[in-house]
A and B are shown apart, each in its own frame.
Chain A
């Protein structure tokens, strides 16, 4: 008979004992209540340790580590320079053209190219590439938006994209995609609705509950065959900060279009250029009453 001690109890817990050893321990446990109590205590300590470190693997990986793993020169993430920032203006609320092109992302993409989607007269494609008072608006936007929020949005995007086919989602898309959002919304201060981006060829893949600046936020993950657009994520969180105009920016090598409206912060993240992001942002804002 082998030793009956804490080491063998731990080996039993970890499934590391041979058959004969395991049977001997089980006989010991059957006969000795103190041994059972000891095993339960060790098992509880084991579970607590596992639980205490579980969430670290869900954190966004810092850019400098991804760069190091890629063999790139390590760099510290910097807020973007003003040169990258473009403050945009929501157009009048109109979506007349969208139903006509729904289901055909090529049409939607072409429409975006020519500024046809969602009444571009007052927006980016209405000739407002340079806002009326760009310097002032950029400063306002830069001051108003939390840099950590945007850096985290970029990091979460990369985490999802790097996962490849095994998308990192807490709640995968199903026949009833709103069900995914309802589950995520249970942990959020406000209900999150799901924008339908199929007209852009973007298919909803699932949602994740993420932590940004210590607050929960929902990350919606979309993919598409159109390499000019996707993959793309939409981060939706709560904010007590003032509203912010839609603003294009670049963080950690990915493009972002963010805005804040009535206590909510929205960040579209992807490799798509400002034209696509602006069109999609208009669609999202229209669907979510976030203008």
Chain B
């Protein structure tokens, strides 16, 4: 007679194709939200709110269109609503250490500092430039897809991207970021 074995844990609610897609998109939604908010905890709160809204409005999603773009639009809409509600104007000095995220990548110290500097530089961009930069440069959406998400013409997307990258280049090019990254790569 052998001891009674532990019962397997109960599984969660039954999956649906919609929620499966949602779960699969979570890593990218978290990244997009991190770029928007600059904060790991705020980003996850934002993604959670977006998940709840998406599930409530899943009937509005049109099959054949990009699911990730639809979710990015929901994330962005909630984020803009939150910005308006708070009327928050971030100051550079207020950027907390936590904005670097709670689980930083395993890199050398120099490279990690450089990545943090880049994220802080992105955080200093105006909200609409930050969002456009994340959609196109990080998430790989085309200009048209980004324009659909943001609800603006393609020309506006191009303009925002150009201004965002120039501002970043100016912030990063002559600063410690570039030097520290070069040092890290040279080692």
**Interface residues, chain A, CB within 8 Å of chain B?**
5-7, 9-11, 14, 16, 41-42, 44-46, 48-62, 64-72, 74, 113-115, 124-125, 127, 129, 162, 187, 209, 211, 214-216, 248, 250, 253-255, 271-275
Chain B residues positioned under 8 Å from A129 (CB to CB)? 3
Contact A48-B30, Cβ < 8 Å, known A70-B19, A211-B105, A216-B106:
no
**Nearest 8 A/B pairs, CB to CB:** A55-B105, A52-B118, A68-B51, A69-B22, A57-B27, A45-B169, A56-B31, A274-B6
**Interface residues, chain B, CB within 8 Å of chain A?**
2-3, 5-13, 15, 19, 22-24, 26-28, 30-31, 34-35, 44, 47-48, 51-52, 55, 101, 103-106, 114-115, 118-119, 122, 133-134, 136-138, 142-143, 158-159, 161-162, 165-166, 168-169, 172-173, 177, 181
Chain B residues positioned under 8 Å from A114 (CB to CB)? 2
CB–CB A69/B19 < 8 A:
yes
Which residue of chain B has its CB nearest to the CB of A11?
Answer: B158
Least CB distance, B9 to chain A, in whole angstroms: 5
26 contacts between A and B (CB under 8 A): A7-B162, A9-B162, A41-B173, A42-B165, A45-B168, A46-B165, A48-B114, A48-B168, A49-B118, A52-B122, A53-B119, A53-B134, A56-B34, A57-B27, A57-B30, A58-B27, A61-B30, A69-B51, A71-B55, A113-B5, A115-B2, A125-B2, A162-B24, A215-B106, A273-B6, A274-B6
Chain B residues positioned under 8 Å from A6 (CB to CB)? 162, 165-166
Contact A273-B23, Cβ < 8 Å, known A7-B158, A253-B10:
no
Contact A211-B44, Cβ < 8 Å, known A72-B13, A273-B5:
no
Chain B residues positioned under 8 Å from A14 (CB to CB)? 136-137, 143, 161
Q: How far, in angstroms, from A46 to B137 measured CA to CA in the complex?
A: 7
CB–CB B118/A51 < 8 A:
yes
CB–CB A74/B27 < 8 A:
no
Q: How far, in angstroms, from A205 to B101 measured CA to CA in the complex?
A: 30
Chain A residues positioned under 8 Å from B103 (CB to CB)? 59-60, 211, 214
Main secondary structure of the interface of B (DSSP, over half): helix
Chain B residues positioned under 8 Å from A62 (CB to CB)? 44
CB–CB A69/B23 < 8 A:
yes
Known: A14-B143, A253-B10. 8 other contacts (CB 8 A): A16-B158, A44-B172, A52-B118, A55-B104, A57-B27, A61-B26, A65-B51, A74-B48
Least CB distance, A144 to chain B, in whole angstroms: 22
CB–CB B137/A254 < 8 A:
no
CB–CB B118/A7 < 8 A:
no
CB–CB B9/A10 < 8 A:
no
Q: How far, in angstroms, from A274 to B30 measured CA to CA in the complex?
A: 33
Chain B residues positioned under 8 Å from A11 (CB to CB)? 143, 158
CB–CB B9/A254 < 8 A:
yes
Chain A residues positioned under 8 Å from B143 (CB to CB)? 11, 14, 16
CB–CB B161/A68 < 8 A:
no
CB–CB A211/B106 < 8 A:
yes
